[in-house]
Amino acid sequence: MIRTTSKLADGRELIYFDADVCRGRGSSDRRPLEPPVNLSQVRRDPATGAWVTIAAHRQARTYHPPADECPLCPSRDGRLSEIPDEDYQVAVFENRFPSLAMTPPDTNPDADPGDDAAVDALRGRLPGTGRCEVVCFTSDHDASFADLDEDRARLVLDAWTDRTAHLSALPGVEQVYCFENRGAEIGVTLAHPHGQIYAFPFATPRTARMTDQADRHRAATGRNLFEDLLAAEQADGQRIVLAGGHWTAFVPFAARWPYEVHLYPNRRVADLTRLTGAERAEFPALYLELLRRFDRLFAGPAAGAAPARTPYISAWHQAPRTGGGELALHLELFTIRRTADKLKYLAGVESGMDAFINDVSPEAAAERLREVAS
Q: What is the pLDDT, as a whole number, of residue 122?
A: 87
Tell me phi and psi for residue 314, to 5 degrees.
-120, 120
Q: Are 266 and 248 in contact (CB under 8 A)?
A: yes
| Residue 60: predicted pLDDT | 74
Question: Are 66 and 190 in a shared domain?
Answer: yes
Do 226 and 329 share a structural domain?
Answer: yes
Q: Residue 205: left (phi > 0), alpha (psi -120 to 50), or beta?
A: alpha
DSSP 349: I
127 to each of 108, 169, 181, how far by Cα in Å?
11, 18, 26
Active-site residue (options: 57, 194, 246, 317): 194
Q: Are 286 and 245 in contact (CB under 8 A)?
A: no
What size, in residues, is the chain? 374
CB 174 within 8 Å of CB 201: yes
The answer to whether residues 107 and 212 belong to one domain is no
What number of other Cβ atoms are within 10 A of residue 195's Cβ?
22
194 is catalytic: yes
Considering the domain architecture, whether residues 195 and 153 belong to the same structural domain is answered as yes
| CB atoms inside a 10 Å sphere around CB 301 | 6
- Tell whether 305 and 361 lie within a shared domain: yes
Cα 187 → chain centroid: 14
Q: What is the pLDDT of residue 61?
A: 79
Task: Let me know whether 112 and 55 are in one domain.
Answer: yes
| Domain range enclosing 165 | 2-202
What one-character-per-residue DSSP string does 86-101 give? S--SEEEEE-SS-SSB
Look at residue 72 in the predicted model and tell me its pLDDT: 97
Beta-sheet pairing, 51-54 with 131-136? unpaired
pLDDT 10s per residue in the chain (374 long)? 999 999 999 999 999 999 987 666 668 999 999 888 888 999 999 999 999 999 988 877 788 899 889 999 999 988 999 999 999 999 999 999 999 998 766 655 454 544 554 447 788 888 899 999 999 999 999 999 999 999 999 999 999 999 999 999 999 999 999 999 999 999 999 999 999 999 999 999 999 999 999 999 999 999 999 999 999 999 999 999 999 999 999 999 999 999 999 999 999 999 999 999 999 999 999 999 999 999 999 986 544 555 679 999 999 999 999 999 999 999 999 999 999 999 998 889 999 999 999 999 999 999 999 999 98
Task: Record the pTM.
Answer: 0.93
Boundary of a domain, candidates 173, 202, 231: 202
Q: Are 233 and 177 in a shared domain?
A: no
Assess whether 108 and 58 both reside in one domain: yes
Last residue of one domain, picked from the residues 178, 202, 226: 202
Number of folded domains in the chain?
2
| Together in a domain, 107 and 31 | yes
How far, in Å, CA of 248 to CA of 227, rounded? 12
Position 110 scores a pLDDT of 52
Q: Find the CATH number of the domain harbouring 267.
A: 3.30.428.10
Which pLDDT score, from 0 to 100, does residue 191 have?
94
State how far the Cα of 263 lies from the Cα of 243, in Å rounded to an integer: 9
- Same structural domain for residues 176 and 236? no
Domain end position, chosen among 202, 228, 251: 202
Claim to verify: residue 176 and residue 242 sit in the same structural domain: no
**Burial class of residue 47 (count of CB atoms within 10 Å of its CB; 0-12, 13-18, 19+):** exposed
Alpha helices in the chain (DSSP H): 150-168, 205-221, 225-236, 277-296, 353, 362-371
Cβ neighbours of 374 (radius 10 Å): 8
Q: Residues 129, 214: one domain?
A: no
